[in-house]
Amino acid sequence: MTEKKDQDIDFRQLIAEERARGSRRPVKAETLELRRRRRKIAERLLDKRCEKRDYLSVLRGDFGLKEGSPEFLDFVKLWDAYR
């Protein structure tokens, strides 16, 4: 009886693989949001007219990061290292 179940599972997996072949995987919303964040941060870092207070306000306002959070502190370190 377990052999029959194992064969059914293998068969279902094979069908799923064949259906997925050649199709693109959808990009997750999180990945897109992360890319947008990185792009916006990079633009701020490269803009010589951007001051640290503007940069920090983007982190707080646009990204909703709390001051003192590990992610916020990482972005501040990035600013300090670059500037």
Whether 65 contacts 71, CB under 8 Å: yes
Asked if the structure places residue 70 within a domain, the reply is: yes
What per-residue confidence (pLDDT) applies to 12?
A: 81
b/e 34-65 (16+ beta carbons within 10 angstroms → b): eeebeeebeebbeeeeeeeeebbebbeeeeeb
Asked if the structure places residue 42 within a domain, the reply is: no
Overall domain count for the chain: 1
Asked if the structure places residue 58 within a domain, the reply is: yes
Which residues constitute the domain of residue 73? 49-83
For the chain, the 3-state helix, strand and coil shares in percent, each to the nearest 5, are 70, 0, 30
Asked if the structure places residue 69 within a domain, the reply is: yes
Asked if the structure places residue 83 within a domain, the reply is: yes
Mean pLDDT estimate for the chain: 81
Asked if the structure places residue 8 within a domain, the reply is: no
Asked if the structure places residue 25 within a domain, the reply is: no
- As a whole number of angstroms, the distance between CA 75 and CA 61 comes to 14
Higher pLDDT, 28 or 61: 61
